[in-house]
Chain A
Amino acid sequence: MNKTKILIIILIILIIVAVSFGVFMAYKTYRTPMQVENLEQAVKILTSEVENENDRMIKLAMYNELSKSFTMVDRHTNEKRKFSNEEMQEIYSNIGGKEAVLNYLQNINDDEKRRDQIQLAFDLKIIDKNDFDDLWHML
């Protein structure tokens, strides 16, 4: 085997390893526990009753972030809290889910407020680009 062949093989291996590592890092980043300033307070906010629609959107954004890893970590104390499937389902039904937010966004009468709320929902990653376009063009 000559030098060029060895170099080509090493390059192919390098690309395969780089791609595999990229996949691993994407998964690892996705599964990273949700970092919070105060664990106790964050759990309390998430499990409390929904007070208004803004509150619902913020809680749903928190839920969406938490649903990637089911784990919350206190940034300062490194204390961890793992949520079970049942707990997550309970939180989701308590918040009302994405359907409740979509319903709320569709029923705002004031156009300016509606635009602001649609933008907020999009920024909080509650609605995707398709939902955003649909809601925006309904105006």
Chain B
Amino acid sequence: MKKRKLIFNLSIYYIVGLILFTIISYIIHITLFSLLTDNTIIPLLELQMIPHNLFYFLPWYVGVYTIFFLLIAIIVHKYDKYMIKKLNEKLENMKGENKNEQN
């Protein structure tokens, strides 16, 4: 049950993050490209081009975001482990101190 919830949460984080990442990257990408090519940004045309551009560039966005997501997941997991280890050590020390006090 816990594993299922974890996978569900991770999937939600992945999808929300991917949408956020794609929106930010796409806006920067199109704006900078227009500036580099001295084109004015025509909002109506850009809106019409979104499906085509997304289809063309989506594999890049998904690929880079997936690598980023995996890296973050690994780092957070390692950090979690490190914190648990540290807390356990503290707990052991406290237990030891309590035993000494009792003696």
Contacts and interface: CB of A to CB of B under 8 A. Distances in A.
Contact of A14 (B17, B31, B37, B60): B17
Interface in B72-88: 72, 76, 79
Interface in A1-31: 6, 10, 13-15, 17-19, 21-23, 25-27, 29-30
Contacts, number: 59
Interface of A: 6, 10, 13-15, 17-19, 21-23, 25-27, 29-30, 68, 125, 128-129
Interface size bucket, B side? 20 to 34
Question: At the interface, is chain B mostly helix, strand, loop or mixed?
Answer: helix
A125 B39 CA distance: 8
Nearest to B53: A29
A113 to B, nearest CB: 25
A114 B89 CA distance: 83
